Structures are given as structure tokens and as C-alpha cells.
Chains A and B, each alone.
Chain A
Amino acid sequence: MPAVLDLFPCEPPPYNNARGYIEMIYNKAVECMPRKKMQELQLERLKRIVSYAYDNVPFYRRKLDEVKLRPEHIKTLDDIRLIPYTVKEEMRANYPYDLLAVPLKKIVRIHASSGTTGKPVIAGYTRADFEIWSESVARIIVAAGGREDDIVQISFGYGLFTGALGLHQGWERIGATVVPVSSGNTERQVMILKDLKVTALVSTPSYAMHIAETAERLGVKKEGLCLRLGLFGSEASTPEMHRALAEKLGVFPTENYGLTEIIGPGVSGECEEKAGMHIAEDYFYPEIMDAENNAPKPEGEYGELILTTLTKEGMPILRYRTKDITSITYEPCKCGRTSARMSRIKGRTDDMLKIRGVNVFPSQIESVILGMKEVGNHYEIHVQRKGYLDYLEIYVEVVDAGLLTNYARLEALREKVRGAIRTVLNLDVKVRLCEPNTLKRFEGKAKRVVDERNL
């Protein structure tokens, strides 16, 4: 009776969201390791990677020699603070191959960061690095609820960017069906989501939003899709963004985190508890620092995330300043994992705006905008300067047709947005109401801040 089947575009899934499945942990031995044992493992690996970098990367030999540090001086985990930071500019200065610890013939793939200014940062991977990478991404996928019977659409741009191939390998590792769509051609994305009965979407949160809007416009409803999971990364997102995506696409949304300089995606990711991103601490040693003063932040306090690769063979990196602002807790998670969890990235030290003395993170503005039904999910933050003072103008799209009965209601909406932002930031901003679909959409990382100051 094919007519009956037509009523159900896909088989009713045996689950409604990630929780329906039996809780599973990809690598229980490591992910649930007692803290003391983890620290022993980390110390052993830290000692090894420091002497490995010292012996094989001239850049690190010089760096350690400069502060008269010898690898054998590392006796405890806290001794890591004796090592100077590595910063992005140094990685660029060593472009392309000077940070490699192995001959090029041992490198099996090159990736690069999406550098918008100057040279990109090159990352070289050996076979052993691939193992670590796939393993760490597989852990995140399983923690997010991914299973081998998932059909995964990877809507990250393939290429030098680590996001697409990183997630690709992880999903392949757990045996899922991977659909490498790449980014772009959003109408086709929707068609594939629907026709291939895709169950999991991998993309940036902003692109997922664009896909959802396009589906809406094409008349594709979430009930007509089989989506159940959304793995979002490569840019920070807010709980409001996740709620909106869950509602529009019918996915259980999780966030994951990583960076090319360290490995790509796989550094950390949320589990089904959504209580912070579990860090693969056996591979990547995290610190939260007040980097300016080289002072460690107490557990739970926000600071800059510093990462050290504990096992990387191709390109070991010691104490990389990520510029990402987060906090870490070592409390075991309800999911059973004992690994350290980092909170959502609150912002970056370099995209923090300082407006008339007030620290502003774009994520704070996003949480206000996404909490309002009258405006769309896309926005722009314009930074302007008048005289010596900086001002913000927030562009939002008016989507509530109910406001069109009279002009005063539009003015009232503008005041409402202004007021809500003032409450969060304690700062007066201008608000500009725009027509729908006129603000920029992004297929990769969203760039919401437009600096008009000509500094």
C-alpha cells in the first residue's frame, strides 16, 4: 500500500530526541577516569610533549631557552605555567612549516585556519594525529547523541577549514552515514535534508538558522524532516539560538568547540545534559588564565582558555592563547563523564567591544534579539564613532506583521529592543528596524560586528 507510506515521509523514529537512546560513552576508560588518574596521565604526557617539542621544534627550543627552562624542570602539572605562551602571531611568523616536529613526508594532511588578515595558520597532521583527532571528535558526537544509524549532513565548507573534515572523520569513525554536502546552495541543502532523510545536521548555528528559514520559505516543515540532532560549532552560540534552532528544525542542539591551531573540532563538546562542553583532557590540557597577568583563575571563574596539546606528533603546541573566554568546572557530570567541562564561549578577547567604558560581547546582544518574537534571528552590530565617543547601532529585521497597524507600534518595538539591551549591557544603543532578509546571511562563521569607525 504505497499510498499509506506517502503519509509518513520517513519511518517514525524510535526516539524523539537524543535522550531516547541508551546513554552511551565512546571511550569510558578515559572519559570517566578518576581525576587523580587523569592528572597522572596528563603529567606524564606533559613532560613527554615538552621535551618532544624542545628536541624537534627549533621555535620551542628558542622559546624555552630564552626563559632558561629545561624540559626536566616540569615536575608537576602546575609547572606548565613556567612555559611561555604561544600566540597566533608566532604561528603566522612560522608559516608555513616551521612549527612541524616531523619531516614533511610524515605529514599526511594540511589544514589551515580561516585567517581573514595576513597568512593563515597551517596545521600538519601525522597518521597518529588523525587517530587522536577522529577519536576526540567521535567522543563528542556520541556525547551529543550521535549513533551509527544516523545519516549526517555536513554543511560546513569543505577545504582547508578543519570543521568539515574533522566532523566527517568522527562520524565515519562511529560508523554513521555521512553526506558531505559542504556549505552553500541552501535550497539544495533543504532538499537533501528532506530527501535523504537526514537525522543529524552539522553546521555553524547561524547557517543552520539560514537553512531553517529557507526550509520555511520553501514550505518544508520540520515534521516532514527526520532531523533529530544538530551539532553546532565553529562559532559561539547562545542558549536562545539553540532554543530557536530546536524549535525551527526539531533538533536536539549541542555545541562543540575546537580550533585549527590545536587540532580543529574535537577539543570539547556538549553531552546530552548540556551542562558545559566536555574537554578531551587526555589530549588537550586546559588552563583558564588571566593571561595579561599570567595568573590562574579559580575553578568556575571566567578567563582566557589556554590549551596545550599533550599528544600531538605533527605540530605540538604549548600553552596556546585561544583568546576565547570561558570557565572550567571539574565536577563530574550527570552523564557519568568525569572530564573537565568548559562553559559556552562568552566571547573572544579580541571581539570584545569596549563602548564608552562598557565591555560588550556580541553574544549578549544576540541573547536579547533571539528572545524577541517580533524581530528575526539575524542581526548586525554597527560600531560608530562621533567625536571621541563610540556608539552601537543594532540592526534587526521586523518580522511581526501584527505591528503594521500603526507606526507607533513600530516605534514601541524599537524602544523595547533598546530597553532590553540597556538592561543587559547597561548601555544606550541605537536600534534600526530593517526589512526581513536584508541583513547579511552567513554560510560559515557569522560576522555580526561591522566597525564603521575607520580607526
Chain B
Amino acid sequence: MVKQLSVFIENRPGRLYKITQLLSQHNIDLVMLSIADTKEFGILRIITSDIEKSFRVLKEAGYTVSITEMIGVEVPDRPGGLAEVLAVFDRCGISIEYLYSFARTSDKIAIILFRVEDSQSALEKLMEAKVKLTDRVL
């Protein structure tokens, strides 16, 4: 599984900048960053080169932050690649809260991170169905 940080963030000028600046000051590399459109506030989701350290740094700076576990799936980068994986989700009755994906062009694969309600049981089901799981995103 892949660990991700969730940070409460207000939708005000400069807030996102402050967080990225803080991480860079501690020499932490951002691997992934996502924020859905929100009005006044939102949840910033990030994956970094050092999750535990990032958690500590953000917490000490006073942010409300938590660590979330995501299921990482490796999908072949071709038509139907994702559909095959989602078919397994569907068959096993795993409902997805949110997901995001990125392509690793050099390997011709895409990495998809899934957030589901019960990660542990979902993981077991996916393993059983021989879905290719990964815990590295780079």
C-alpha cells in the first residue's frame, strides 16, 4: 500500500505555496499532489519522498494532517487496461472513494492509487484476483 498525507487547507491565496515551501525547506520531494475543486476549504493530498518526516514537519507547523493508506495498482498502458482492473473491483464489491493516476511512460504502465473504505479486505480480494499491486509510485 502507498501512504498518502491528507492536509486540511483553506482556499486562500498563498496557503498551498506555504505548504510546498515548508516541505522544500526540509528537503522533502513531492511525488504527487492533488486537490479537488473546493470553495472555501479542501483536503490537500500529497505523496512525498518521506511520508513520516513530512507528517512530522506539517504537524509541528500546526497543520491538521493525517496519513491515509492507498491501494496502488499497476495497469498496462493500453486500451482497456484500467477497465480490466475496475471489473475486478466491481466483481468484488469494492467501492472507491476517490482515485488518481499517473503514467510511467518509460515502463509503459500507469499507476493508479485507490482510496477505498476498507483497505485491508480490499487488498486481500485484489490479491486473490491476481491484480498487480504496487507500493512504489516512482
Residue numbers of A with Cβ under 8 A of B are 217, 398-407, 410, 432-438
Contact = CB atoms under 8 A, between A and B. Distances in A.
B9 A405 contact: no
Interface of B: 6-10, 15, 36, 38, 40-43, 60, 62-66, 68, 97-98
30 contacts: A217-B60, A217-B62, A400-B64, A401-B8, A401-B64, A401-B65, A404-B6, A404-B7, A404-B8, A404-B65, A404-B66, A404-B68, A405-B6, A405-B66, A405-B68, A405-B97, A406-B43, A407-B38, A407-B42, A410-B8, A410-B41, A410-B43, A432-B40, A433-B10, A433-B41, A434-B10, A435-B10, A435-B15, A436-B63, A436-B64
A44 to B, nearest CB: 58
Contacts of A401: 6, 8, 64-66
Given A404-B7, A405-B6, A433-B10, 16 more contacts: A398-B41, A399-B64, A401-B6, A401-B64, A401-B65, A401-B66, A403-B8, A404-B8, A405-B97, A406-B97, A407-B38, A407-B43, A410-B8, A432-B40, A434-B41, A435-B10
Given A406-B97, A410-B41, A398 B8 contact: yes
Nearest to A438: B10
A129 to B, nearest CB: 45
B10 A402 contact: no
A256 to B, nearest CB: 32
Contacts, number: 56
A433 B15 CA distance: 14
B76 to A, nearest CB: 30
B61 to A, nearest CB: 8
B11 to A, nearest CB: 10
A432 B41 CA distance: 9
A202 to B, nearest CB: 27
B93 to A, nearest CB: 19
Nearest to A435: B10
A332 B9 CA distance: 53
A18 B9 CA distance: 42
Contacts of A410: 8, 41, 43
Nearest to B38: A407
Contacts of B63: 435-436
Contacts of A434: 10, 41
A433 B62 contact: no
A217 B61 CA distance: 9
Contacts of B43: 404, 406-407, 410
Contacts of B64: 398-401, 404, 435-436
Nearest to A432: B40
Contacts of B6: 401, 404-405
A399 B66 CA distance: 11
A397 to B, nearest CB: 8
9 shortest interchain CB distances as A-B pairs? A401-B66, A404-B6, A437-B62, A404-B66, A436-B62, A398-B8, A433-B41, A401-B64, A398-B64
Contacts of B68: 404-405
A351 to B, nearest CB: 27
A89 B62 CA distance: 43
Contacts of B7: 404
Contacts of A407: 36, 38, 42-43
A322 B73 CA distance: 68
Contacts of B60: 217
B137 to A, nearest CB: 20
Nearest to B40: A432
Nearest to B19: A435
Nearest to B9: A435
A121 B9 CA distance: 44
Contacts of A433: 8, 10, 40-41
A375 to B, nearest CB: 10
A193 B6 CA distance: 35
A376 B63 CA distance: 12
Nearest to B68: A405
A403 to B, nearest CB: 8
Nearest to B42: A407
Contacts of A437: 62
A357 B63 CA distance: 38
